[in-house]
Amino acid sequence: MASAASSTSQRGQVDLVDFVDWSGVECLNQSGSHSIANALKQGYRDDDGLHLASDSDEQLLIYIPFTQMIKLHSIVIKGPEEEGPKTVKLFSNKEHMGFSNVGDYPPSDTVVLSDEQLKGQPVILKYVKFQNVRSLTIFVEDNQGGDDVTTVHKIALFGTTVDTTNMKDLKKIEDH
């Protein structure tokens, strides 16, 4: 399984955590004491004592905006054997999704996580569907054991940035 992880990094793929726009990250149905930051933020996500947990049922809806355009190559979703996510639907550039309308859109990719993937093996995505990504919505539909609580230890996104002009860096040309 190490070969999958090493081939990911050999192709110039990087951990995209530095390009997450933290002010816009949202997670619907997260437990108050086990929030998305525990699974997504650098340092937190590698602490086995911290995790993201669902609240009222097994579903989670996670919205991750980026500070610049990215190309998403693969995702790592770690979780426990019974409570870990099972069916995960990924949506590229879909904003303002809720549980009521998540079924209205076709996902960019759907993944059914295996035991190896829950232990940290990267899931290679349909790369062509994730070329100019401004935001990623992750819908955890169910979990491995069919329980009411889904637990996620780590979410890591791998890919590259798209070289674009940051409009915030441009200066307005003054009239002379």
Which tens digit of pLDDT belongs to each residue from 2-29?
A: 434 433 344 689 999 999 999 999 999 9
Give the predicted TM-score (pTM) of the model: 0.87
Beta bridge mates, 161: 70
CA–CA gap between residue 175 and residue 61 (Å, rounded)? 47
Segment 71-80, tens digit of pLDDT: 999 999 999 9
Q: What is the pLDDT of residue 78?
A: 97
CA–CA gap between residue 12 and residue 10 (Å, rounded)? 5
What DSSP string runs through 5-23? HHHHHHTT-EEGGGGB-GG
Q: Which residues of the chain have pLDDT under 70?
A: 1-11, 164-176
Q: What is the pLDDT of residue 41?
A: 96
Q: What is the pLDDT of residue 5?
A: 41
